[in-house]
Amino acid sequence: MKDSYKIAVVHGDGIGPEVARAAVAVLQAGVQTGTLQFVEYPAGATHFLETGDSFPATSFEGCRGADAILHGAAGIPGVVHPDGTEAGLDFTLSLRFKLDLYANVRPIRLYKGVPSPLGHPGSIDYVIVRENSEGLYAARGAGALLREEVAVDTLVQTRKGIERIVRFAFDLARSRNGSPKDGRRRVTCCDKANVLRTYAFFRSVFDEVAKDYPDIEAEHVLVDAMTVHLVNKPSHFDVIVTENMFGDIISDLGAATVGGMGMSPSEEVGDGIGFFQASHGSAPDIAGKGLANPYGTILAAILMLRRLDRRYRDDRLRLGADRMEAAVCAGLEDAALRTRDIGGNATTSQVVDALLKLL
């Protein structure tokens, strides 16, 4: 354990500042005073418009020197680079690559009180482990556009990259709390091995690593079929491991089944520092209206405390996380404390005030 932990806070764009502030307030109330030190750094599309720089070097150094990074959300549609990609996303995407945050962990859990669009959701509680450092994403900024006639991007997977993410997924399956699915822990490899060599390679490395975990069931599901299962039998899943782009897609689908992007936290970790945010975007259409759902970012803050505790063994972090989670559960069970996106009328600050009272 450390005396205190430095949390780099980056507000970003749209509703980013609102949800980031909400999470910081809840952290301050939930975790013993003095445990966390918050330092704010600028980045995002708004900062890009103001300064021409979407992610200043000083912000990067500040983030890199922190124990964890907490992010609101970034991006303004139309604020783009010459190749058409979004400038506001430089922060998230370059952090991933510069800090080698290779594991993107997205718990999909249906909390009591939150409406699901599924008719019979059953119990939903699985984790998507998205490979976060390879695949098509590694080609960002490197693809070619020839004579405005042909565009090319490259999908690359390495044995090292696949091995470490698959091990991460199996280790996570072993450590998950609660009773195993159907009496057994399970890791599902989601790929498109029937068509492409890169995905077939992903699957073959998955199969090799799985042999080291005989206590855990290993199975394969093609990505297209996976979308069907996530809608028809979400309760089946425990841990799902998949490559970068597929993880992007199916984690949004998973989030949709448990109340939407506002209910879905995201953790990006490497071998050291972690980066935490809600999975949702900056939602410029509702920014500044008090309508943003802060639960996703608060759930991300809980993931942050648990990750720090796993690394530094510190009861203040563990107790803070447990307290915050209890408050979130109580909040969600109370119809008056649900925001519009999850079927209620509460404003962001009504939710935050109530959670602070609960803590």
- Active-site residue set: 137, 192, 224, 248, 252
Q: Which is nearer to a second copy, 41 or 137 (CB)?
A: 137
Burial 8-24 (b: 16+ CB within 10 A, else e): bbbbbbbbbbbbbbbbb
Return the residues of window 263-302 that contact a second copy according to CB under 8 A.
281
Q: Applying CB under 6 A, which of residues 89, 103, 209, 218 lies at the interface with ligand IPM?
A: 89
Q: How far is CA 246 from CA 69, 190, 272, 277, in A?
A: 24, 8, 25, 19
The number of beta carbons lying within 10 Å of the beta carbon of residue 330 is 15
Distance (Å, whole) CA 316 – CA 275 = 20
CB of 119 to ligand IPM, least distance (A): 25
CB of 245 to ligand IPM, least distance (A): 8
CA 296 to chain centre: 9
* Part of the chain binding ligand IPM (CB under 6 A), chosen from 86-94, 141-149, 291-299, 307-315: 86-94
Q: How far is CA 269 from CA 28, 48, 104, 188, in A?
A: 23, 26, 7, 20
Under the binding rule (CB under 8 A), the answer on residue 149 touching a second copy is: yes
Burial 62-92 (b: 16+ CB within 10 A, else e): bbeebbbbbbbbbbbeebeeeeeebbbbbbb
| φ, ψ of residue 40 in degrees (nearest 5) | -90, 140
Under the binding rule (CB under 8 A), the answer on residue 86 touching a second copy is: yes
CB of 284 to a second copy, least distance (A): 13
Interaction pattern, residues 226-245, with a second copy; x per rule: CB under 8 A: -xx--xx------------x
- The answer to whether the CB of 241 falls within 8 A of the CB of 166 is yes
Secondary structure of residue 85 in the 3-state scheme:
coil
CB of 263 to a second copy, least distance (A): 11
Distance (Å, whole) CA 235 – CA 239 = 11
Return the residues of window 241-280 that contact ligand IPM according to CB under 6 A.
248, 279
Q: Applying CB under 8 A, which of residues 18, 67, 238, 248 lies at the interface with a second copy?
A: 248
Q: Which is nearer to ligand IPM, 245 or 329 (CB)?
A: 245
The residue ranges that bind ligand IPM (CB under 6 A) are 89, 92-93, 195, 224, 248, 279
Query: Which residues are near a second copy by CB under 8 A?
Result: 75, 80, 83-86, 89, 93, 116-120, 136-137, 139-141, 143-145, 148-160, 192-198, 200-204, 223-225, 227-228, 231-232, 245-246, 248-253, 255-257, 260-261, 281
